[in-house]
Amino acid sequence: MSDYTHILVGVDLTEESRPVTQRACALSKAFNADLSCIHVIEPLSLAYGGDIPMDLSTIQEQIQETAKIHLAEFAQTWSIAAENQHLVFGRPEIEIHNMASQIGADLIVVGSHGRHGLALLLGSTSTGVLHGAGCDVLAVRVGQT
């Protein structure tokens, strides 16, 4: 097995991003690998479709601006270079896969709540990332079960 060369960590910008990124950062140092991060903004139109009869573009722009600032602040604390910080729109699991192949990542790191029962049936981002990933995926256990 060869060493990892480029690690991609998915950050949802909640408190749980910290332990997940800490693990990704430690692995990148251990393997002397590049570290990139991605935050995916789910478009309001995807979540609400035509259910809300109003123009959501201004709110969407504000969400993007806020996310951009938070991602830059967060990434800076982990010394992740600006060119390795990625902010994209879409569904997290799909965009994380796309970004991993775009940057040639050989390990994706995400958080996992280790949910079970109904929540497991409904799925989670970590489950979605694991399915169909073109490289290794590490699910870092976070939060309470």
Q: List residues binding ligand AMP (CB under 6 A).
A: 10-12, 16, 20, 38-40, 92, 110-111, 113, 124-126
CA distance 135 to 67: 27
Q: State the nearest-atom distance from the C-beta of 5 to ligand AMP, in Å.
A: 20
Q: Decide: 88 and 62 in contact? Cβ < 8 Å.
A: no
First to last CA, the chain: 32
- State the residue for tokens 């990148």: 28
Which residue of this chain has its Cβ atom nearest to ligand AMP in the complex?
111
Minimum CB distance to ligand AMP smaller for 2 or for 144:
144
DSSP strand E in 1-145: where?
Answer: 6-10, 34-41, 85-89, 107-112, 136-141
Q: State the nearest-atom distance from the C-beta of 12 to ligand AMP, in Å.
A: 4
SS3 18: helix
Minimum CB distance to ligand AMP smaller for 36 or for 124:
124
Q: State the nearest-atom distance from the C-beta of 74 to ligand AMP, in Å.
A: 11
Q: State the nearest-atom distance from the C-beta of 33 to ligand AMP, in Å.
A: 18
